[in-house]
Amino acid sequence: MNWQYIGSILPALLSGTKITLIIFLGTLVLSIPLGILVSVGLRSRFKPLVWLLDGYVWLMRGTPLLLQLIFIFYGLPVIAIYFDRMSAVFLAFVLNYAAYFAEIFRGGLQAIPQGQYDAAKVLKLTPWETFRLIVLPQVVKNVIPAVGNEVINLIKDSSLVYVLGIGDLLRAGNIASARDVTLVPLVLVGIVYLTLTALLTWGLRSLEKHYAYYR
């Protein structure tokens, strides 16, 4: 093992990891609240809103994220809509992941018995109090495993930004591998992804344990 070589490519890989984490965290922070909002909208009695949101979820889940990235960054300029690279990445990732989270949260909301809403109503809670105090905490517990799967997918999907020429972890490794004709950078990239997913898995299990205080 050539430690000197590893030391020489490490700064580029760490810089790529930073970009990967920015995309990951930014997408997570924006797409989960948007997913919750869409899931609530999907249960609306206002049918045109439901149709619109159903169409959005269908479109986002029915086409590849890679296509969405290419469409937004390379396709939209054809009709004079321009995004810089990172804006295009966030737009595609947030819209795509919010659709998946919306479906997960919709399932979580459906699992809450009507009786819980009835009990909240006779206790004079407002719809917002009912959602915040009674429904959401139970939904969160219900959806942690499914959300966890998406979170793990997201860290890996972030490598798709390579197609837009963004210097994420995979791109940093690939450039070093092609330049130096060695597999070492790609192995290191794999190790970084494995470490990140292992940390996330541990975090998600801790969260599940935290919510195991009731049944």
Instruction: State the residues that interact with other proteins by CB under 8 A.
Output: 113, 115-116, 118-126, 129, 133-134, 137-138, 141, 213-215
- Nearest approach, Cβ of residue 134 and other proteins (Å): 6
Q: How far is CA 122 from CA 45, 80, 82, 205, in A?
A: 22, 54, 52, 36
Q: Which is nearer to other proteins, 82 or 214 (CB)?
A: 214
CB 69 within 8 A of CB 138: no
- Nearest approach, Cβ of residue 145 and other proteins (Å): 17
- Nearest approach, Cβ of residue 34 and other proteins (Å): 24
For 2, the enclosing helix (H) or strand (E) is none
Q: Which is nearer to other proteins, 61 or 121 (CB)?
A: 121
- Nearest approach, Cβ of residue 63 and other proteins (Å): 37
Residue carrying the six token digits 């490598």: 159
Distance CA 99, CA 196 (A): 24
Q: Which is nearer to other proteins, 83 or 117 (CB)?
A: 117
Q: Which is nearer to other proteins, 141 or 171 (CB)?
A: 141
Distance CA 58, CA 38 (A): 13
Q: Which is nearer to other proteins, 123 or 194 (CB)?
A: 123
Residue carrying the six token digits 């009507």: 114
Q: Where are the alpha helices (DSSP H) in 47-113?
A: 47-62, 65-70, 85-110
Distance CA 78, CA 80 (A): 5
Q: Which is nearer to other proteins, 75 or 137 (CB)?
A: 137
- Nearest approach, Cβ of residue 211 and other proteins (Å): 8
Q: Which residues of 4-41 are buried (b: 16+ CB within 10 A; e: fewer)?
A: eeeeebeebbeebbebbeebbebbbebbbebbbebbbb
- Nearest approach, Cβ of residue 28 and other proteins (Å): 23
Q: What are the tokens at 199?
A: 């940390």
